[in-house]
A and B are shown apart, each in its own frame.
Chain A
């Protein structure tokens, strides 16, 4: 086994992956050596690779209006950063900079895409691990936002802003409409059908609580029509951390990691939802069918979008703090 493959065996993200598969993965990785202060990528650049930190340390920061920035994460040995690049190939949501001499291993997006197209088991195992990592990062990010509202003891005892949802069974949406949703446009019809028949369709009025923060979720949802907002509320103050419109999933964090829901999910508009209960979620999320792959991609896309959306209020808060420290005088 090569040194790289041995190191990969110690990376928590890759725990449980067979030695042969790790050796195959090691052959795809490219090493990079960085000095203290070196920028790995800048916010807004096209994302093309995931990085695994071998040793050293990397800080991730967000730019703010007015030529300032705020640090949002640090990543050390054995941890990964930039995994979003492998999944959606979007633009970098922050700037990554080595804070000391650092060595990293790169997995390029095209190499990962090749694994996926071969339906290599490592690709799907990695995708599920990415979901775990994204869940963990999202929870950390949301906890920071909650703290900004003066959260002392965490969620609990906070009265619901809206009454509990009463779901009314409904027929499925028109398939021509579903196929026009951006998230489903490129999906094979059979795989899409497998995914769309995994749960039941329900209607819900606007202003109803589907999942309360701190409670275990019993199902995950995909919005087909309408919009669901994700909020954190503390002592009557609230931050909206995301909005799930058509094609977007929500409520899956608890089903992935078994912890309570990190946010309250409330219908902002009346909504038509695909409801996937826990007993249907498990085989779909862990399965190897075409429908499972579509479902996994929907969940991952939503986690990535949620992570990006959750950075948004933090940037607003940091921007406001900078303002409060040095405001112009009123006329």
Chain B
């Protein structure tokens, strides 16, 4: 058994982007279908994945992540270069590939299993465990078109995740569904990893990449930008994303952005509503951001992050993504975050403020830990230690007589 499971050597892949997709003979022969641009989704990408390791692929939308995965899965053929995968491959790019609505649950399990490369005999051997996992035993003889979307997803998931390949290629579509689902998914991926299988995972969730994957590659505009331990690659990627397109400031700059929205002033207000950089733990506090729109921008998310100045710990972060703001936003105004009882303990803090679009790809204005403030103890926080103030109540209750509970 070789210790390299996947070799990708100088892989190039292009797509033809037709300005007007034509499928008709007339247009073809009139020569009108030649309007296309060659789009290089992968430009000379090379990497290796050792057997039994887990590789994450990160990168912005349209960077070539999914193309890379599909090339590994042999769904797409590269224009140039070599891909070598040792052992059996299963690619899970969506839930329930091959499911047919008119077929029963049972028939679909066998069909989707064959799509994943399993023989009927092999499927029969694990059929019960699949049904068990999905928890839809009583519906297996019904057409899946009559399933609720939840049942459908559970069965599709159970089939997908029942594969036992040497190399597993996962797209994040598997991570949709409720939390219980995701936990099952992660459990199962953990099982794959522990049994020495090789996994390649594409995900937007950098936390998933960091926790699930040993190594990561970062693909941007078809090129490999970084390849190494997932922590480092993710950190590098994060730093880059924050810089955002259109921001000319070098890395490490405290302030950057396109300037489409400018945060002009940041104020801290204490419990009495007075501007002050000294706040009190367990007491009301307010953070105010004055902003100006320099362009008619409607897609703005304001955010803050609070770091400890002494040890750099990220204490808190939040933004206005799910907050109903007045639309259209006034050309200039003040964003105000009122905090009922400031849940911070005594210490030096730094505030980061940001205005960016909802996808996080365009940063209008970003002040990285630009605004310092102090938190002092108040009567309520006195005696607590750490970072956070917990407004809890201690009490004592006598143990009940055992005679009562035995009744």
Q: Do A and B come from one complex?
A: no
Give B contacts to A, CB under 8 Å.
none
Give A contacts to B, CB under 8 Å.
none
